[in-house]
Copies of this chain bind each other. A is one copy, B any other.
């Protein structure tokens, strides 16, 4: 895809995404973890219940376990009278059973005594003396109880594979007595820094150099996607060194991010190395998006690789647009596509802003409250700046077909995680 000047032509954002969707990726491997470590992990296979739950008929109210038939016709004005035979203790199997005409006191959560089929709440009873209770309500069978297999039946599926476990899901696993689960391993993502001008932040900074911002930004973004960042350090602008680093990273991880030095040389090396190391190689080189236009995307032996522009703003936008959704796919999670993965809000745009048609513009904005309304204020300025990194709360996308946004126009802000 070269344009008339022989430059690589930028593909559209959705085309670039589809190029990845068509490719097979490495299948995620599974591992077994304790439920204590399973929060946020994705089940690699479905889970069925090893038993009936709760496993016994259980009262959902404080009251008396009775035969429902004994309460037939009972009301405020026409109570029935039952003999109290004792009480059920919490957490214990009752030793008494309920015969017709009898009642047994029972707490919420208590096990129903044999013979009883329902529970009348205390509110509808009166103790007449120590051994007789007045019942003022007609009960149906199973009223105020959970039957032994009513919650979950033995062998019933509780979770599909691909489920990401939330706190209450782990609670449910504990409730079923499941202590270990099979989950997909977290994707490991290598981060390779390049650029002769980039130095690690713990090294002295000589004049003309800049510190490595991108590895730190990316490591946090990756961890925020439930993946594991693997920092490979900073490689000098040298083809052979880059080739070795990428090759090693492909063998150690499930995705490789190469953050560009700004130099022209590195950009060329990145595409070359991706093409050399395996099939299909580079999928696109340049995306109709701002910032992030120089983005390179490729796959080598099922491992996605990205050549990211060196500017922090482009890193953020490229990550949100391509890498975050890809990591979601690689996690093995079966997503609920109709549920938003991000916090969003509506706001009024604070100024007129022109945009070139033919490319998607991702405007970083801060959100401010003025006169009771929310405003999305573009964080402009040169994209290499630290200041713009820390000021933005989220992103407003101007689609390819739109030539800009007017002041006061309502926009949707996709907030950072």
Chain A positions within 8 Å of B, measured between CB atoms, are 35-36, 39, 53-56, 58, 60, 62, 89-94, 107-111, 146, 150-152, 158-159, 166-179, 195-198, 201-202, 205-221, 223-224, 237, 261-264, 310, 312, 316, 336, 338-345, 367, 369, 374, 382, 384-387, 389-390, 392-393, 415-417
CB contact under 8 A between A109 and B384, given known A220-B167, A342-B343, A369-B338 = yes
State the CA gap A382–B147 with chains docked (Å). 11
A sample of 24 cross-chain residue pairs with beta-carbon separation below 8 angstroms, ordered by A number, consists of A36-B219, A58-B384, A60-B384, A90-B261, A93-B208, A146-B382, A146-B385, A152-B387, A158-B390, A159-B390, A166-B220, A166-B416, A168-B217, A168-B312, A168-B390, A170-B217, A171-B216, A171-B389, A172-B213, A173-B201, A174-B216, A178-B201, A339-B343, A342-B343
Please name all residues of chain B whose beta carbon is closer than 8 Å to the beta carbon of A111 when the two chains form the complex: 207-208
CB-based contact B62/A264 at 8 Å: yes
Please judge, given known A-B contacts A195-B90, A220-B170, whether A385 and B158 are in contact too, CB under 8 Å. no
Given the complex of chains A and B, what is the CA–CA distance between A53 and B385 in angstroms? 9
Whether B167 and A207, one on each chain, are in contact in the complex, defined by CB atoms closer than 8 angstroms, is: no
Residues of B within 8 A of A341 (CB): 343
Instruction: Judge whether B205 and A262 touch: CB under 8 Å.
Output: no
Closest 6 CB pairs of A and B: A167-B220, A91-B197, A171-B217, A108-B262, A174-B216, A175-B213
The answer to whether B167 touches A224, judged by C-beta atoms less than 8 angstroms apart, is yes
Contacts of A89 in B (CB 8 A): 196
Residue among A62, A91, A150 with most chain B CB within 10 A = A91
Complexed CA–CA distance, A172 and B169 (Å): 37
With contacts A39-B223, A150-B385, A174-B216 known, what are 9 further pairs, Cβ within 8 A? Answer: A55-B207, A152-B386, A158-B390, A167-B218, A168-B312, A171-B213, A173-B201, A174-B201, A178-B201
Are B385 and A195 neighbours in the complex by a CB distance under 8 Å?
A: no
Which chain B residues border A108 with CB–CB below 8 Å? Answer: 262-263
> A133–B93 Cα gap in the complex (Å)?
95
Q: Which residue of B lies closest to A338 (CB)?
A: B369
Q: Give the distance to chain B from A317, nearest Cβ to Cβ, in Å.
A: 11
User: In the bound complex, do residue A389 and residue B169 qualify as a contact, i.e. CB atoms below 8 Å apart?
Assistant: yes
Cβ B343 vs Cβ A168 within 8 A: no
CA A305 to CA B45, docked complex, whole Å: 39
Known: A207-B93, A208-B56, A262-B109. A201 touches B179 (CB 8 A): yes
Q: Is the CB of A172 within 8 A of B338?
A: no
Shortest distance between the CB of A263 and any CB in chain B (Å) = 5
By a CB distance below 8 angstroms, the chain B residues around A94 are: 208
Q: A53 contacts which of B56, B197, B201, B386 (Cβ < 8 Å)? A: B386
Instruction: Give the docked Cα–Cα distance between A54 and B263 (Å).
Output: 17
**Interchain nearest-CB distance for A223 vs B (Å):** 6
